[in-house]
A and B are shown apart, each in its own frame.
Chain A
Amino acid sequence: QKEVEQNSGPLSVPEGAIASLNCTYSDRGSQSFFWYRQYSGKSPELIMFIYSNGDKEDGRFTAQLNKASQYVSLLIRDSQPSDSATYLCAVNSGYSTLTFGKGTMLLVSP
């Protein structure tokens, strides 16, 4: 059974700091990896996707993928209170469906 693990948190960081969110997955054949942000009471919103080992940057967000370690992370630079949300890691293992982690709650304090 494919599994995606995330620390549920909450991860608390002060405003302006770097928030580091981590995710591990069980299926070594996984091909693509996604980070979604979900505000309370709202649906998930795509932040980034990454397919290749290494880093991918988009604005304040950097996704990092290490397939050998089966590990993917999301860094948020200059964290803002508006970044406070639950961050979902999702993995596609070659089929149509995504396997979601349970999410990490991030709290950014002013």
Chain B
Amino acid sequence: GAVVSQHPSRVICKSGTSVKIECRSLDFQATTMFWYRQFPKQSLMLMATSNEGSKATYEQGVEKDKFLINHASLTLSTLTVTSAHPEDSSFYICSAKAGEGTDTQYFGPGTRLTVL
């Protein structure tokens, strides 16, 4: 159980374009989803916490106007990287919490973004 999917798994885009990444909980309803970024050989960095039907909470140093998060349903959260630049190239991973009574997070497979 507790399967989380992400799409796309890999994306290459030109500098200045926007990229949308989808995160779906397939077999449970996720009131809370999380977005992480991981650079090569570095640890996970939490970018934001996304709650269904409300605005995302961004971690310090993460630009909310650049990384737009929408959590419109209990099974879908999206991250849009706007006006992407080469320094945004990274591994973006979402996770979902399977309900309010648990704090266990299940991770999606991740999206590797390369900005040329």
- Name A's B-contacting residues (CB within 8 A): 31-32, 34, 36, 41-46, 49, 88, 90, 92, 96-98, 100-103
Contact = CB atoms under 8 A, between A and B. Distances in A.
Nearest to B103: A92
Nearest to B108: A43
B93 interface: yes
B107 interface: yes
B12 to A, nearest CB: 16
Contacts, number: 45
Contacts of A88: 43-44
Interface in B69-116: 91, 93, 97, 103-110
A31 B93 CA distance: 24
B49 A103 contact: no
